[in-house]
Amino acid sequence: MAGLSDTFTLTNGVKIPVIGFGTWQTPDGDVAYNSVLSALKAGYRHIDTAAYYGNEESVGKAIKDSGIPRKELFVTTKLWNDDHGYEKTKMAFGKSLDRLGLDYVDLYLIHWPNPKEFRSNWQKTNAETWKAMEEFYREGQAKAIGVSNFRAKHIDALLETAEIAPMVNQLFLNPSDMETGIVDFNDDHDILTEAYSPLGTGNLLKLQPVQEIAKKYNKSAAQILIRWSFQHGFVPLPKSTHEEYIKQNGDIFDFEIDKSDMQTLDGLQGKAGLAIDPDTTDF
Ligand code: A2P
């Protein structure tokens, strides 16, 4: 595997580039626009945004201005917590497409499984939401559909009524929280695992073992963490607003972390934060 435009294949045959460009916490306007444009120039072909990030408009503008043919790009957005339920999902998806200036997305995800507002009936609400998402999929407005921050019980509940199984589960996933149980569940169900916050939102970069391994391979700490994710078979979604970092983070294909260093990184559980429990969020 040689580069940023290499792909994995989802269960429905759709190809997904092996690294995505993350935009969580990237402010709308010039920052989001320039970051996405830099990422596309650097060779990324997979951009990950969400209605909640508030930057879909700038992301869409950068995509358009890049001049890259739409079919060469993979664009993901997500349904926010306020918009669960059949009718609301339809409205929210339409608004996301409008903001992005696109007539389809490559992947549409339910952002969280159990929003506070729907906590008493999340199973039913997710089933209704999913029904709308299956329609977007059948109509070709979403080339793939999936979930984010879902644990096994949330996916099991969804599968009770789903006609189409989720193709992706996007998780907070890095050496500080390997989410082993849910990653194994994803694998058993042919669900591709995407890794957001692969750098632990930056908190993993300064850890001594990461720094030492970076030195050994003559790479940056960020490159080590992204490569770690890639070698585990996840699709990392590193975020940056700096052109240098953006380029660097996509340049992880010319080295391999050996088994013992992978194990050292695997041993950093809890060292830079854990995934939030989706059943007790206050949003
Ligand atoms: P910035 O956005 O200011 O460029 P994660 O992808 O885990 O959410 O981590 C994102 C954080 O890591 C951001 O604060 C980002 O900074 C920082 N970051 C991203 N790439 C690098 C890099 N190559 N070197 C140092 N910091 C980086």
Atom of ligand 1 at shortest range from CA of 200 = 7
What confidence tier does 1 reach under pLDDT thresholds 50, 70, 90?
low
Q: How many residues in the chain? A: 283
Q: What distance in angstroms lies between residue 241's CA and the mean position of ligand 1's atoms?
A: 8
Q: What distance in angstroms lies between residue 196's CA and the mean position of ligand 1's atoms?
A: 12
What confidence tier does 157 reach under pLDDT thresholds 50, 70, 90?
very high
* Side chain identity at residue 258, one-letter code: D
Question: According to the model, what pLDDT value does residue 43 have?
Answer: 98
End-to-end CA distance of the chain: 39
Q: What is the pLDDT of residues 113-138, one digit of tens each?
A: 999 999 999 999 999 999 999 999 99
Round to whole Å and give the CA distance between 77 and 133. 12
Q: What distance in angstroms lies between residue 199's CA and the mean position of ligand 1's atoms?
A: 7
Atom of ligand 1 at shortest range from CA of 225 = 7
Collapsing DSSP to helix, strand or coil, 149 comes out as coil
* Side chain identity at residue 122, one-letter code: W
Is 44 among the residues known to form the active site? no
What confidence tier does 2 reach under pLDDT thresholds 50, 70, 90?
confident
Average pLDDT score over the chain: 97
Please state whether the predicted TM-score (pTM) of the whole model is above 0.85. Answer: yes
Q: Which CATH architecture group holds 7-202+228-256? A: Alpha-Beta Barrel (3.20)
Question: According to the model, what pLDDT value does residue 255 have?
Answer: 98
Q: What is the pLDDT of residues 229-244, one digit of tens each?
A: 999 999 999 999 999 9
113 token code pair? 């499984």
